[in-house]
Amino acid sequence: MPKAVEVKIMGQKVTLRSDDDEQHIRRVAEYVDGKMHEASKSASPKGKYSVAMLVALNIADEYHRLKDSHEAVTDRVDRLIEKLTTVLSEDD
């Protein structure tokens, strides 16, 4: 059953409901809050909506770069496992 966890993002209280543990929820909220504060200081958009959109795009970019990197590593590991399996089966 989802738990309600109250967090603050850009000074605004937000109640999140999730099956994840509270520590994880708070860590995610703190990450978003930090990104929002960072973007509001260094970016030209005015207003929380513009900052939120910029942050969402930046986080999506980070996600896709990490996903691509993870897939590349996974593919490399799979190829190495195939080679290792071939070498080991030749020794039989």
Note the pLDDT tens digit of each residue in 23-50: 999 999 999 999 999 888 876 657 778 8
Query: Residue 1: which pLDDT band, with cuts at 50, 70 and 90?
Result: confident
Residue 63 pLDDT exceeds 80: yes
Give the closest residue to 26 by CA, choosing from 3, 60, 53, 57: 3
Cβ 39 vs Cβ 58: under 8 Å: yes
pTM above 0.85, yes or no: no
Residue 41 in tokens: 């200081």
Q: Report helix, strand or coil for 90.
A: helix
